[in-house]
Amino acid sequence: MKNTYENNFKLRLILILTSLSTGVMSFFLPIYSKALDMNALEISGLFSITAFILIILRPFIGKLIDKVGRKPILVLAVFIYAIAYLIFSMATTSVLLYTARALQGIASAFMGISIYAIVADNHDSNNISKGFGKVNSAQSTGNIYGCILAFIVLYRVSFLKGWKILFVIFAVAALFALFKVITTFKESKNTYVNKRINIKNYSKSTLKLLIIVFITSLSSAMVAPVIMIFLQDKITTDISGLALAFFPSLLIASLLSEKLGTISDKLGKNKSMIIGMLICGGTYLILPTLSSVLLFMVIWTISSLGGILYDLSESGLYAQLNTENDNGEIFGVYTLVCDFGRMIGPLIGGALYKSLSQSLPFYLYGIIMIFVAVLIPILLKETKKEF
């Protein structure tokens, strides 16, 4: 098979250009939203709406991408990203923010399944976690570049003006990525095998794994929208301090994702998932007790390593269990399950944070991850092929 991932398609550059906003978004969106007088539940809704859009589109995109190929879907994804970023640059109301997030969700739906399918097309199931690690590394590199750019801009201008400038830059970068997709990507649709899948084609292990995927997606999504609010409420409101807390984890994700994917392939997907989940669970039980930016940075970085390991192992195991199905459609199902969790999780986390306890979403996430890690050896049996 001609390796479009490695040779013919500059996927890394496309991922970097379209990921410039991701770190800025997760870092500054809660702060920007708070500046617009949005409360914790409304801010959580900004995270849920993208998942809601993804849920609507995922079932159709998987089939579509197997039918028409990867290139048309990638082109559409990058174009919509550019439009979303332009709207973000003009957003001064919650309505515009929600509109931009909805468009971002549409772009993410098209992009996500395309990338999963391209990686699965061009990697053997026994080393696919390494392929996903390359994707994660490229996206994390884009996050780092975006964050560096953000702090350069925000050092010179006010936060609100800087937000506008940044998203204009991100829109231009997405348009350049669009040019690269159109001119660089050589369609490999002839390498795809068209089969039909339905629920009966799934093994029991696949169905059990999808349940685990839903649980982990939901629980991690509980803390995503409130982590920055928690830091501001409990530790510091200083932008530099907040940046210090998160930057090392982004750097590690950029440098070590491929290595962690290789470890997952060699050690085994099940074992790697367990290790990653235990690391995440343990660190999140510690996070609410911290009062120092430096300590938070250390614990968060360790947690990120665990999160990358279990995420790569989870998606790699799913691919390994479904080698006989169309990559587009099968990953459409996988991402659909993820998105259900990501839609519900932020609403639960925001409600818990606002109404009961600021620490509760973190404790609950930690307990869930440890519990699921204990269940994995029971639910998912190890196989000779994997080890």
Low-confidence spans in the chain with pLDDT less than 50: 1-9, 190-200, 383-387
Q: For residue 4, what pLDDT is reported?
A: 45
Q: How many domains does the chain have?
A: 1
Task: Say what the pLDDT of residue 51 is.
Answer: 67
pLDDT of residue 81: 93
Is residue 386 included in any domain, yes or no? no
Res 241: pLDDT: 66
Is 224 inside any structural domain?
A: yes
With CA atoms as reference, report the closest residue to 334 among 311, 355, 356, 357: 311
Residue-wise pLDDT tens digits, 70-96: 778 888 999 999 999 999 988 888 788
What values do phi and psi take at 122, rounded to 5?
A: -115, 15
pLDDT at 237: 65
pLDDT the model gives residue 384: 41
Alpha carbons 253 and 316: distance in angstroms, whole number: 17
Q: Is 323 domain-assigned?
A: yes
Per-residue exposure over 305-322, b if at least 16 CB sit within 10 Å of its own CB, e if not: bbbbbbbbbbbbbbbbbb
Tell me, what's the pLDDT at 230?
76
| Residue 208 counted as domain residue | yes
In a domain, 373, yes or no: yes
Nearest CA to 27 out of 197, 208, 242, 298 is that of 242
Residues 6 or more apart whose Cβ sits within 8 Å of residue 377: 270, 274
The reply to whether 4 falls in a domain is no
pTM of full prediction above 0.85: no
Asked if the structure places residue 385 within a domain, the reply is no
Q: What is the pLDDT of residue 240?
A: 65
Q: Which amino acid is at 182?
A: I
Residue 384 placed within a domain: no
Closest CA relative to residue 132, chosen from 311, 9, 294: 311
Residue 330's domain is classified under what CATH number? 1.20.1250.20
Q: Which domain holds residue 143?
A: 10-186+196-379
The per-residue pLDDT for range 40-76, each reduced to its tens digit, is 667 767 777 776 777 777 667 767 777 777 778 888 9
Residue 327: which of 135, 197, 207 has the closest Cα? Answer: 197
